[in-house]
Amino acid sequence: MTSRRTLLKGTLCGGAAALLPTAASASGGGGPVLRLPAPAGPYPVGMRTVHLTDPSRTDPWVGGVRELMLTVLYPARSVRGFSRAAQLTPAEAREFAGLAPRVHPGLPQPGRVDWGAVLTHGHVGAPPLPGRRPVLVYSPGGGDSRTLGTTLAEDLASRGRVVVLVDHPGDASQVELPTGLRTTALAGPPDPATFRTMVDTRIADLRLVLDRLGSLPLAGVVDSRRIGLYGHSAGGTAVVYAARDDRRVGAVANLEGYLDLYPVPSGFGRPLLLLRTDGFDGADRIESSWAGLPGRRALLRDANHWAFTDYGSLVPRLQASGLVTAAARTALVGTGDPAVTLTEVRHQVGTFFARHLP
């Protein structure tokens, strides 16, 4: 989904307040250092990154073998002695600093935020908690990198799931591969043919990930009989179509993605969550494309399109620091209390998968 987005080359009250990120002055005087909200589940979170290649496919954007980068998050037995990972690699952070205000007008200009200092709550290489667990695979919004889905994914992992965040090089803003840094091939909102290429490529990427679950470093804790897909925006579009003809997928959550690219059978046959915001300017198209689909529908109030991502917590903090205007915040994530919105997103997605992939 790319409404009102420019994709440029380059890329609860009380106790719930604890869910908000905090900001501290950067040691170099370059603006706030942002912190992501901590996961709320009982388990600490481990993290590993994985590089995949698909020799059977040619990358539609740059040619050559198709490559993917994954982040795998999981409940850890212990995180003692294992460091927390940065949200972005140094190279990704440098690229994102210049790209962010052009991809999302109103975000701070380069030099105002140290994006490379943002830490996740994933501990690199921590040993997994024993047991076989449901696996959830995430596809981000068009033009976004997988890292912007960190907050929700860590919470899901802290509650006992294995979560795989997928980058889609070519339309992702930036992603560092072993072969180098890839930035988005899109120079603006995609035309219908380009959007179709995006979604078709994402569907094939997701199926590759499902095919390779048994060979991932954490295959021993993955229960391949309990697989869920979830995605935001264009990722929401892709996960529904990827699951349409793939019986390995037991449940799907679509976070505000259009479903009018291809037919979706009215008898979809799998549990489906359709979650949207009340502030998104594509709401009419969303509702039209979801018409007739069986599934659980839910609405995030006082929210906008990117409230499903890490922006939902970071943008209000940037506004409080004087780096984002009220208008830009509203256009990105809405006017609601970010702790309330975050709690609702976690509740909707978490309880959906707990019910259907217990």
Q: Which tens digits make up the pLDDT trace of 307-348?
A: 999 999 999 999 999 999 999 999 999 999 999 999 999 999
Q: Label residue 30 by pLDDT band (50, 70, 90).
A: low
Question: Is residue 187 scored above 90 in pLDDT?
Answer: no
* % of the chain at pLDDT higher than 90: 79
The pLDDT of residue 118 is above 70 = yes
**Does the structure show a pLDDT above 90 at 51?**
yes
In whole angstroms, give the CA distance from residue 251 to residue 269. Answer: 9
d(CA 162, CA 278): 30
Is 185's pLDDT higher than 70? yes
Contact 312, 341 (CB under 8 A): yes
Q: Following DSSP, what letter does each residue of 177-244 receive, concatenated?
A: ETTEEEE---SSSPPHHHHHHHHHHHHHHHHHHHHHGGGSTTGGGEEEEEEEEEEETHHHHHHHHHHH
Q: Is pLDDT of 215 > 50?
A: yes
On average, the pLDDT of the chain sits at 89
Residue 25 confidence (pLDDT) above 50: no
User: CB-hemisphere CA count at 13 Å for 273?
Assistant: 28
| pLDDT exceeds 90 at position 205 | yes
- The tens digit of pLDDT for each residue in 82-117 reads 999 999 999 999 999 998 888 888 999 998 999 999
| Mean pLDDT of the region 41-56 | 97
Banded pLDDT at 245 (limits 50, 70, 90): confident
Separation CA 222–CA 323 (nearest Å): 42
Per-residue model confidence (pLDDT) at position 267? 72
Most confident of 5-9, 117-121, 265-269: 117-121
Q: What percent of the chain has pLDDT over 70?
A: 91
Look at 269 and 205; give whichever has higher pLDDT: 205
Mean pLDDT of 159-175: 96
Query: Residue 21's pLDDT is what?
Result: 44
What pLDDT sits at residue 237? 96
* 268 pLDDT higher than 90: no
For range 29-34, the mean pLDDT: 66
Task: Give the helix ranges, DSSP H, for 213-337.
Answer: 234-244, 283-290, 311-320, 326-333
Least confident of 13-17, 225-229, 272-276: 13-17
pLDDT higher for 279 or 103?
Answer: 279
Q: How far apart are CA 291 and CA 127, in angstroms?
A: 44
Whole-angstrom distance, CA of residue 336 vs CA of residue 312: 10
